[in-house]
């Protein structure tokens, strides 16, 4: 059994779509990044890679590489899934938190969960995605950015 942790932050800007857990969410701003800037999926990937001591997503998918420009982070997650499988592990369970003042994310959490479960070939019951605000405190509270944290437990295949 292996445990991993992931954390990521992206800046909120106008003129970008807001994509979280592979779901495009209607909002006046979106996250800035080289890929689709899906901060939740990035935190999940870092947790999975961390559990296998395989480095981080910056190492596997450098933002200087044009192949990853605008790419769906779910495609990157599929690659990470292959890496952990090659190490002899699969997802035991995942818990995660998206920290955003706005928009309200509850209506979208189930679709995010199903997206991630499908890519990881996992039972949705082993995937938890939560959302919280920071009561207007900090960069998330000022709506300057969104952060996400994830913890995974991997089990032997
Ligand atoms: Mg990121």
- Please give the average pLDDT of every successive group of 10 residues along the chain, which has 157 residues: 98 97 98 96 98 95 87 96 97 98 98 98 98 98 98 97
Alpha-helical segments (H) within 19-154: 39-51, 57-60, 73-86, 106-119, 138-141
Cα 37 to averaged position of ligand 1 atoms, centre (Å): 6
Q: How high is the pLDDT of residue 72?
A: 94
Q: What is the pTM of this model?
A: 0.97
Cα 36 to averaged position of ligand 1 atoms, centre (Å): 9
Q: Residue 19: what are its φ and ψ, rounded to 5°? A: -120, 120
SS3 106: helix
DSSP label at residue 64: T
Cα 150 to averaged position of ligand 1 atoms, centre (Å): 13
Q: How far apart are CA 16 and CA 32, in angstroms?
A: 7
Of 15, 14, 11, 60, the closest CA to residue 33 belongs to 11
What number of residues does the chain have? 157
Q: How high is the pLDDT of residue 70?
A: 87
Cα 22 to averaged position of ligand 1 atoms, centre (Å): 14
């Amino acid at each position: 059994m292996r445990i991993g942790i992931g954390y990521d932050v992206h800046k909120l800007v106008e003129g970008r779509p807001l994509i979280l857990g592979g779901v495009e969410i209607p909002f006046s701003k979106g996250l800035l990044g080289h890929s689709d800037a899906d901060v939740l999926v990035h935190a999940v990937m870092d947790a999975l890679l961390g559990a296998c001591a395989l480095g981080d997503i910056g190492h596997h998918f450098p933002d200087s590489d044009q192949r990853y420009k605008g790419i769906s982070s779910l495609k990157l997650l599929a690659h990470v899934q292959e890496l952990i499988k090659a190490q002899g592990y699969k997802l035991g369970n995942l818990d995660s938190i998206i920290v955003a003042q706005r928009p309200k994310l509850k209506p979208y959490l189930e679709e995010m969960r199903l997206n991630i479960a499908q890519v990881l070939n996992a039972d949705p019951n082993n995937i938890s995605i939560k959302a919280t605000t920071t009561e207007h405190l900090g960069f998330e509270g000022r709506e300057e950015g969104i952060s996400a944290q994830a913890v995974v437990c991997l089990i032997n295949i």
